[in-house]
Copies of this chain bind each other. A is one copy, B any other.
Amino acid sequence: MEEYLARIAPADEVAMRAAAERQGQLTKPPGALGVLEDLSVRVAGMTGVCPPAVPMPAVVTVFAADHGVHAQGVSPWPQEVTAGMLANFAAGGAAVNAFAANNRVEVRVVDVGVATPVEELDIVHAKVRLGTRDLSVEAALTNDEVRAAIAVGFDLADTLVRDGYRCLLTGDMGIANTTASAALIATFTGSTAEVVTGRGTGIDDATLAHKTAIVRSALEKHAVPATDPLGALQAYGGLEHAALAGYILGGAANRVPVILDGVIAGGAALVAQALQPHSIEYCVAGHRSAEPGHAVALKTLGLIPLVDLDLRLGEGTGAVLAYPILACAVRALGEMATFESAGIDS
């Protein structure tokens, strides 16, 4: 872990200043590209280059795992849907596949802890265990399991960047994973269970009240302080959250932009932030999920979402939707004429 964290440096201030200055010379009124101007400056800081290259090719990695707390009835969906959706990803039939095909993003799927065997699927097999333990009864993971799942994500980020990818997007799949996310977000933001627990894929009022009670009781039972990110992953899981935290840290260590998807990535990013605050300088919030905990997480992360369209699917769909916006921001910085080069007297 210490080796991983030591590889993460702050964003490059010199490149950021050069990018901000260049924004003022491009053929447009100063500030007219709004949020995209800041975004381009941030990417200069991440990559240490001004103007930065267009962050392509891009890849969305869908980390999949199951959750022992599913046994408590926090989701109307059977746990087997996680494995079923993995087959759907592998066959190209899910929403993330359709979005990724449109936006020229490649899709990788990683089994980091699905509760059922999925060896037959053409995906990355890195199962740490068959789902987490039930966080309402005991710690979801051991310290070794947490470290193993973080390593899956970090090492995969290393591999992807070595293979030429220049933008890493987060994705996730796991029935009941908004319950673990709520506990993680409450831990790192100091929010109550009521504020961060939501309807996930769509649950009724009674199930929401039950799910919220489960989260509240787990927060009291485990009582992990915000200063103990590995302890929080042990207490609540999930394996995909741990892998995502590693993947975010790995993206930061490799100085490439990481586009976060929704509430699951939000929980994982809070873990990464607690482990190494500079890692968030490499993160872009793809969208704001309809799940209430996500807005709370983004506030603590200090990130402004690029897209806000009431999505609540996960899989990486919000990150993939945001990717062209990031690419456009970088292209504008690198490819636009300046008033001087265009011969326009401003």
Contacts and interface: CB of A to CB of B under 8 A. Distances in A.
B337 A93 contact: yes
Interface in A82-103: 84-85, 87-88, 91-95, 97-99, 101-103
A93 B32 contact: no
A319 to B, nearest CB: 12
Chain A interface size, as a band, is 35 or more
A307 B325 CA distance: 10
Nearest to A320: B328
A307 B342 CA distance: 29
Interface string A98-112: 110111000000000
Given A309-B35, A311-B33, A346 B81 contact: yes
A29 interface: yes
A317 interface: yes
A345 interface: yes
A328 B99 contact: yes
A88 B337 contact: yes
Contact of A201 (B29, B102, B202): B29
A114 interface: no
Nearest to A37: B310
A252 interface: no
A306 B307 CA distance: 8
Interface of A: 26-36, 54, 77-78, 80-81, 84-85, 87-88, 91-95, 97-99, 101-103, 201-202, 290, 306-313, 317, 320-321, 324-325, 327-328, 331-332, 334-337, 341-346
